[in-house]
Amino acid sequence: MKSGGQVSGVGGQGTWQRVVLGARCVRAELSVRNVHAALSVRCVIAACCALLLMLSALCFQVSAQPGTPSYGPMRNKGDQQQTGLPVALRDVGIDQKLNGQLPLNLKFRDESGQEVELGKYFGSKPVVLSLVYYNCPMLCTQVLNGMVTSFKVLPFEIGNQFDVVTVSFDPRETPPLASEKKASYLQRLGKPNAAAGWHFLTGDEASIKQLADAVGFRYTFDPATNQYAHASGIMVATPQGKLSHYFYGIEYSAKDLRLGLVEAADGKIGSRVDQLLLYCYHYDPTTGKFAWVINLYKWGGALTVLAIAGLLLMLRRPRRSSEVELKAGGTA
């Protein structure tokens, strides 16, 4: 019986040693897991920090881009050697006057020859405004062509969600020429219903000068060539006649123009998707485009914090379950 008791004691001692050894193994395994988890957290944090640094660098790069091309160091305005511009182009450009009020009481003549106030085309819809001259041999044609290209793919209809007003800044041009241009570009556009929403105007020198000054459109007449030197771009105005967006060049992104119209209309046109895009995109006046980088940077920072918090919560769960197993093994 004593020998049997000794055997039983030895067996119990062996069982207890196995329990202790198993607990040590579990603790060692947990320690390894904790080390791996800590390394994983550090790697995730390092990767997130690197991503945020890259995004911030990209934001800085985008915000540093100039809005218009530079033709040389312009230290003193009017200095030919420093600007590098020909005399005819020295006073040419577009100066943004965002939120500036258009003089809606100015009088022009429409393509039918009828005298109209500029305010006739405002009040209920945003307006795309362009200043060209109809006999322009090159640049103005490219501006109008770029408008047509963008209008073709816009989800909005001219005359329904927005209007277009094209004004000649050459006081020598007449309504018959404006009517001819309108017919030509409506044919290019291929949307007959746009006739009621796209207006081609002419006017006298005083009205043209006031409108050009109001939108910051600077141009000069070159007697040697009998042509105008001017910049290229279009503007978007609110239904109340406030300038809200400038788009430069001769090609206009349909996405940027769509968002510009939605923003100018204060959300009264467009879908919920357009409203969401406006929240994700931001109009950059220096480039005349909608940029997503700045808002993405903010979202990326918030998502990074949430991701780290979620990861830490997930890492705590296995530790608690392991502690329960250890307690159960000890009591056994």
Residue 44 in this model has a pLDDT that exceeds 70: no
Q: Are residues 170 and 304 in the same domain?
A: no
Nearest to 193 by CA among 166, 157, 165: 157
84 assigned to some structural domain: no
256 assigned to some structural domain: yes
Q: Are residues 32 and 93 in the same domain?
A: no
CA-to-CA separations, 314 to 41, 64, 306, in angstroms, rounded: 11, 41, 12
81 assigned to some structural domain: no
Instruction: Count structural domains, the chain.
Output: 2
Instruction: Give tens-digit pLDDT for 188-243.
Output: 999 989 999 999 999 999 999 999 999 999 999 988 889 999 999 999 999 999 99
Q: Are residues 305 and 223 in the same domain?
A: no
Q: Are residues 58 and 170 in the same domain?
A: no
* pTM, to two decimals: 0.63
Q: Are residues 302 and 325 in the same domain?
A: yes
State which H helix or E strand residue 62 sits in: helix 2-63
Q: Are residues 211 and 248 in the same domain?
A: yes
Q: Are residues 57 and 190 in the same domain?
A: no
Q: Are residues 105 and 184 in the same domain?
A: yes
Percent above pLDDT 90 for the chain: 46
Evaluated on CA atoms 303, 305, 306, 311, the torsion sign reads positive
137 assigned to some structural domain: yes
Nearest to 283 by CA among 255, 302, 303, 250: 255
Whose structure tokens read 């062509």? 145
Q: Are residues 162 and 52 in the same domain?
A: no
185 assigned to some structural domain: yes
Q: Are residues 270 and 303 in the same domain?
A: no
Q: Are residues 248 and 302 in the same domain?
A: no
Nearest to 133 by CA among 196, 190, 205, 237: 205
Residue 175 in this model has a pLDDT that exceeds 50: yes
Residue 162 in this model has a pLDDT that exceeds 80: yes
Instruction: Give tens-digit pLDDT for 46-65.
Output: 566 556 556 555 544 444 34
Q: Are residues 126 and 7 in the same domain?
A: no
Nearest to 144 by CA among 248, 250, 256: 250
290 assigned to some structural domain: no
117 assigned to some structural domain: yes
d(CA 316, CA 37): 10
pLDDT (0 to 100) of residue 197: 97
21 assigned to some structural domain: yes
Whose structure tokens read 């001819």? 180
State which H helix or E strand residue 176 sits in: helix 175-189
Strands 217-222, 198-201: pairing is unpaired
pLDDT band at 80 (very low <50, low <70, confident <90, very high): very low
pLDDT (0 to 100) of residue 163: 97
Residue 14 in this model has a pLDDT that exceeds 80: no
- Mean residue pLDDT of the chain comes to 75
Residue 13 in this model has a pLDDT that exceeds 90: no
What CATH number is given to the structural domain containing 172?
3.40.30.10
Domain of 303, in residue numbers = 2-62+296-331
